[in-house]
Amino acid sequence: MAKNSKVSQETADQALKVAKGTARPGQTKEQTKLIAQGIEKGVAEFKKREKAKARERDKERKKSKKSEVEVPDMPIETGMSKAVLIPWGLLLVSWSVFIAYEFLA
């Protein structure tokens, strides 16, 4: 276990436990400690990579969120939409034709 490494005590304890659990017969305590250091180093490297990936994902998420906010180029419709106006327009046209037919016929 390296004293100047940035590995938590919990990780160091778990690494030592794993190293002791996989120890071969005749293996010295020094060899077991070296294996534990290797495990600690691997865990530290893994955590470092995962943090980097998490930062990249966070940057992408923020970037996509920011681009979604900046995109409102579409006009915001106020009042009635076209879907509501079409039936009313057809009704108005049909009644106009009916009234015109009654007065002209």
Count CB-CB contacts under 10 A for residue 37: 18
Per-residue pLDDT of 44-81, as tens digits, reads 899 999 999 999 999 999 888 877 766 556 666 666 67
How many other CB atoms sit within 10 Å of the CB of residue 64?
10
> How many Å apart are CA 70 and CA 65, to the nearest integer?
9
Domain boundaries, the chain: 9-75
pLDDT 10s digits, 27-43: 898 999 999 999 999 98
| Pair 71, 39: CB distance under 8 Å | no
